[in-house]
Structure 1
Amino acid sequence: MAVRRREAALRALRDHDAAATERHYGVPAGGFADLLVMQGMPRELAEELEGEHDEGMSAAMLALYRSAVPNLHADWGTQLPARMPAPGLVLSPNGHPFNEAEQTEEMAAKVGAQLAVLEGLGHSWMVTHPATVAPILTTFWNAQAEQQAEHHERSAVPSMEQ
């Protein structure tokens, strides 16, 4: 269901179908650039991307959605292991039109990952707000490094019980 909805939304953008774009994204959009700007992307970059957004790009994006293994959108995590073998961090930009908070929370919990909600950020957060997200990432990475160092320290100390 979610894959079909994303495919229809991409077709609306590709075909410059204003009514369908409004239906899928919830806002009137004159084109792809307007949608990207609405999500916080600088207009100059959004217009550059709009110039490149054609049927080939839509086909590539759809192929990527369809080929993801596991395809998180097909059964949202049913193919994932109960817990991932390494620590994880799920970034959830709640300003993204396709963000489904409940499913994101469920997936993060299922795999034992931390969840960081990127308040008000959209699809292009890494372009529009890197300084906002960088501390979230570095805090997570630093915590992992500290845990790893503590583990190595404990395993390097010889037992005094012998």
Structure 2
Amino acid sequence: MTIVFVNGVPVTSAVWMPLINELSKSQQRETVLLSPPGFGAPLPSNFGATFVDYRDWLIDELSRFEAPVDIVGHDFGGGYALEVAMARPDLLRSWVSDTIGGYEPDFTWHETAKLWQTPGDGERHVEEIFSGDVEERAARMVDWGIPEPAACEVALGQGPQMGKAILALYRSVPQAVLIERGLDLPAAAARPGLVPVATEDHTAGSVALRHRAAQRAGARAVDLNGLGHWWMLQEPTQTARMLSDFWNSL
């Protein structure tokens, strides 16, 4: 049984490495890192980089495996994982997503997301955060809460293509689209799900909202007290244990 990790924005698969190193102590299974186009993988010129495009990309990637996988998604990667659970549960044994709060009708986008969704302002912001050399970009990622050495590894994969993908992606999911997609959330219960609830992640909706969404998806919610958006980097040992406990219970 393969474990598949899918990263989100504005990073690459480098954010998973400390967690994967810990998991190797308890899970002797194949691990695959799937980087979405523009986020650690090339962005094809004909790829629209909308939310639906990324969902379809992930379905296509998972269709190549010989058996259903255990998928772990972070940030937008968690959204793509949920979409697969709702649309193609036959591709999964289980799913893990920390962004399930976005499927609740009272979820609101964080301020940076609103900035990226705004024409002009979004372009200026991505140009600013992806400008400079690797050291300068890594320093910005440290300011965003990503510790070294992951910040430097992420910075190596950042640039204009990632900025272009971010703008297209965020602009494809305004509030009304999120509300519509959330109507199908109960379908994710077709496969066992786990929702890591990092209590200090202020981009993913309130703790109560995420618990409510997990319940609608038939998933188990686990509070990660004191951890933020980059929970897998902050406490890789603790979060590896959380994942192992979940998979061992299936």
Q: Report the counterpart of residue 152 of structure 1 in structure 2.
A: none
Q: Report the counterpart of residue 91 of structure 2 in structure 1.
A: none
Structure with greater helix percent: 1
Q: CA RMSD of the aligned region, Å?
A: 3.6
Paired residues, number: 129
Amino acid at match of 2:192: P
Establish whether residue 6 from structure 1 lines up as the match of residue 113 from structure 2: yes
Q: Residue 103 and residue 121 in structure 1: after superposition, are their counterparts in 2 closer, same or farther (change >3 A)?
A: same
- Asked if the contact 1:91/1:115 (under 8 Å) is kept, the reply is yes
Runs of 4+ displaced beyond 4 Å: 64-68
Alignment map for 1:1-162 (pairs within 5 Å)? 2=109, 6-8=113-115, 11=122, 13-16=125-128, 33-34=138-139, 36-38=141-143, 40-50=145-155, 52-65=157-170, 74-75=178-179, 77-81=182-186, 84-101=189-206, 102-144=208-250
Greater RCO structure (CA 8 Å; 6+ sep): 2
Identity %: 29
What is the Cα deviation at residue 85 of structure 1?
1.3
Which of the two has higher C-alpha Rg? 1
Q: Residue 52 and residue 139 in structure 1: after superposition, are their counterparts in 2 closer, same or farther (change >3 A)?
A: closer
- Whole-Å separation in 2 of the counterparts to 1:126 and 1:88: 17
Deviates more, 1:111-120 or 1:95-104: 95-104
- Whole-Å separation in 1 of the counterparts to 2:177 and 2:198: 16
What is the Cα deviation at residue 64 of structure 1?
4.3
TM-score, with length taken from structure 1: 0.58
- Whole-Å separation in 2 of the counterparts to 1:13 and 1:92: 28
Amino acid at match of 1:132: Q
Question: Could you say what secondary structure the match of 1:141 adopts?
Answer: helix
- Whole-Å separation in 1 of the counterparts to 2:236 and 2:125: 26
Structure with greater strand percent: 2
Q: Residue 15 and residue 50 in structure 1: after superposition, are their counterparts in 2 closer, same or farther (change >3 A)?
A: same
Gap runs ≥5 in structure 2:
1-107, 130-135
Q: Residue 44 and residue 88 in structure 1: after superposition, are their counterparts in 2 closer, same or farther (change >3 A)?
A: closer
TM-score, with length taken from structure 2: 0.41
Amino acid at match of 1:74: L
Q: Residue 83 and residue 15 in structure 1: after superposition, are their counterparts in 2 closer, same or farther (change >3 A)?
A: closer
Deviations 1:38-92 (A, max 9, x none): 4542234314433543332122234445668xx9971172232366112211112
